[in-house]
A and B are shown apart, each in its own frame.
Chain A
Amino acid sequence: MKKLAIIATLILSMAVVFIGCKDKRSPGSVYMPDMAYSRAYESYATRDSAIFTMDPNDAGHKIFFNNLPPAGTLKRGELYPFNVPNDSNGLLNLSSLVKNPLEPLTGKDLEEAGRLFNINCAVCHGAKGENNGPLAAKVGGVKSIIALSPTYSDGRIFFVTEYGQLNMGSYASQLSREQRWRIVQYIRTLEPKTAPATTTPAAKTDSATVAKK
């Protein structure tokens, strides 16, 4: 009996050692899978039902959650959808009828808009909209924002962020409508005639520090 106990202890501790040292390609084991892996569906997470499931029919499946919100729904606090159709009539005529729904930005809000611009736009368009971002040459065909925007209405700039244009993709999935309307206002401050370039927050952040965040 005593011998058995000793052997059992040895085997158990060997098992712990064996589970503990793991290959870095595998996540290893956990003590309580039902406490470690979420039973709720986390966004963008894979739920691997080989690890944990309550439903026997589900065992061994991987479920990947990367879905759009249901059609026709609106996130709380989000602005109303941009209903201009994605065609040339929408681009050239209808978009200009949409006004920027936000109050003019000042101070911190404008700085925040500048930060978003530096993260999302400056990588191609450059921190001052001069088409000199680190990726501009690689993507190719990048337009100079400050050269074009004075001739565009707010709605038309927003149209481009909503649907994309030429080589540029849609930013509707990355930035909320409010954030994009803010960026439209920020672009206005970059234009040479409306604001002197020295007072723009963009002067603070060059493209090298953007990548750090």
Chain B
Amino acid sequence: MSRYRKIFNRIFTSIFLVVLLSINNQSLAADGAALFKANCASCHKIDKDFTGPALKGWKDRVPAGDWIYKWIGNPGAQTDPYSTTLKAKWKPVVMTKFDNLKKDEVDAILKYVDDWAPPTPTAVPGGEPATDNSLLFGILTLVLALIAFILLQVNSNLRKLSDEKEGVLRPEPVPAYKNKTYLMAGILLLFAVGGYYTINGAIGMGRMQNYQPEQPIFYSHQVHAGTNQISCLYCHGGAQDSKQASIPSVNTCMNCHKSINKYEGPDKLVREDGTAVDGTAEIQKLYAYAGWNEATKTYNADKNNDGNPDGAKPIEWVKVHNLPDHVYFNHSQHVKVGKQQCQTCHGNIQQMPEVYQFSTLSMGWCINCHRDTKVDFYDKENKTGNKYYSIYEKFHKDLKSGKMDSVTVEKIGGTECQKCHY
């Protein structure tokens, strides 16, 4: 009996060690930083304005008392003067409501914001940033595991010695690599770690978040949409009229680049790997694609009669975002009717030197947004909103009786399978 108990004990110890190894120390306690990252960071930065205002110094700006909790709970419903000016300033973006955050969680976030200090650029040569303790904990766990293993071995050796002294005969102990307990622990460990990576790999297959292909011309959205304030729809006009946002043809580039032939902007053009980009040389590449002669300021003559200037060819931009063919997605539906900002799905394009895929474009991501987003529901009394929704009689009744306070995309069928898969 005691032998079984011993085996049980050993297995238990091994599992305990495995669990210790696999727990990430950050998941132990929810803190302000994690809450901030999960809930706020997609729209707020602490030190500067982003999609929403900078959070630093919020205390001096907002009305005293519990205004901040009310605002975070439901920003859309607040009508006090400060809320109104805030909304007017950041129009058309209104903050999403976070009624799932409890008061102490909001406090934790606010404390994190108050205590936040800008990261000082530490230039210690060879020194590792001491902020992440998980490496230290990992080493500690390994050392403890080693000590436990040695102690177990010592224990069995000592018992062997004492057995010999007392003349008790026991079967020869099995070596460690044949010991079923150790083998079991090893297999469990492999199962846990391997399973984690296998599942993550399997989920990640077919998703291309952070995909950032190298384009034929180093085109910086930061320079065009950010610094020069060109509207997204200037080049991607298809986004408001059709399924495709469409990649602009070369003549759209040439609208401005006929006269802008040098890069003299304030933004430094740097590739992802850190190499500098010569903006003027990139514009020359564009001229080659367009068949434009910079010296004479004319397009090349069309001697081969193909309808294009000689030497001109389309730029083979690499498509970044690809939804699987079995999903229907229409840009105009979201941009024109849904009045979504491009940045909602594509991230802060106007700050990206090289575009990468910001969202996962997974189905869960679509569905979550459809559950949270409210449609511009028709208000029969004030005659505001999208008149298309005037036909939803039941919702109008429910809104009037107070049964529901708003209509989300899900309510009008935005999560039905056949809306996107047909």
Residues of A participating in the B interface, judged by any CB pair closer than 8 Å: 10, 13, 16-22, 24-31, 35-40, 42-46, 62, 64, 66, 68, 118-120, 123-124, 134-135, 138-141, 164, 167-171, 173-175, 207-208, 210-213
A46 touching B201 by the CB < 8 A rule?
Answer: no
* Other-chain contact of A20, B204, B232, B238, B324 (Cβ < 8 Å): B204
Q: Size range of the interface on B?
A: 35 or more
- Closest partner residue, chain B, to A13 (CB atom): B198
Taking CB atoms, residues of chain B closer than 8 Å to A212 are 231, 341, 343
Residues of B participating in the A interface, judged by any CB pair closer than 8 Å: 194, 197-198, 200-208, 210-214, 225-226, 228-234, 237-238, 242, 244, 246-249, 251-252, 254-256, 258-260, 307, 314, 316, 318-319, 322, 324-326, 341-343, 350, 356
Q: What are 18 residue pairs bridging A and B, where the CB atoms are less than 8 Å apart in the complex?
A: A18-B201, A20-B204, A21-B201, A22-B204, A27-B208, A31-B206, A36-B325, A39-B325, A66-B247, A123-B228, A123-B229, A138-B256, A167-B258, A167-B259, A174-B248, A211-B232, A211-B350, A212-B343
Taking CB atoms, residues of chain B closer than 8 Å to A44 are 244, 246-247
A17 touching B314 by the CB < 8 A rule?
Answer: no
A27 touching B213 by the CB < 8 A rule?
Answer: yes
Taking CB atoms, residues of chain B closer than 8 Å to A167 are 258-259
A22 to B207, CA, bound (A): 10
- Closest partner residue, chain A, to B265 (CB atom): A138
Taking CB atoms, residues of chain B closer than 8 Å to A138 are 228, 256, 259-260
Instruction: Give the Cβ gap from B266 to chain A, nearest Cβ, in Å.
Output: 12
A210 touching B229 by the CB < 8 A rule?
Answer: yes
B322 touching A27 by the CB < 8 A rule?
Answer: yes
B201 touching A211 by the CB < 8 A rule?
Answer: no
Instruction: Give the Cβ gap from A125 to chain B, nearest Cβ, in Å.
Output: 12
B325 touching A141 by the CB < 8 A rule?
Answer: no
A211 touching B229 by the CB < 8 A rule?
Answer: yes
A30 touching B229 by the CB < 8 A rule?
Answer: no
A211 to B246, CA, bound (A): 18
B324 touching A139 by the CB < 8 A rule?
Answer: no
A16-B205, A213-B342 as given contacts; A119 in contact with B255, CB under 8 Å: no
A17-B197, A36-B324, A46-B319 as given contacts; A66 in contact with B230, CB under 8 Å: no
Taking CB atoms, residues of chain B closer than 8 Å to A10 are 194
- Closest partner residue, chain B, to A28 (CB atom): B208
B318 touching A37 by the CB < 8 A rule?
Answer: no
A20-B204, A211-B350, A213-B232 as given contacts; A139 in contact with B256, CB under 8 Å: yes
A38 touching B325 by the CB < 8 A rule?
Answer: yes
A35-B325, A45-B319, A46-B316 as given contacts; A119 in contact with B233, CB under 8 Å: yes
Among B201, B238, B316, chain A packs the most CB atoms within 10 A around the CB of: B201
B319 touching A21 by the CB < 8 A rule?
Answer: no
Taking CB atoms, residues of chain A closer than 8 Å to B212 are 24-25
Known: A66-B247, A213-B232. 4 other contacts (CB 8 A): A139-B259, A173-B252, A211-B229, A212-B343
A208 to B90, CA, bound (A): 12
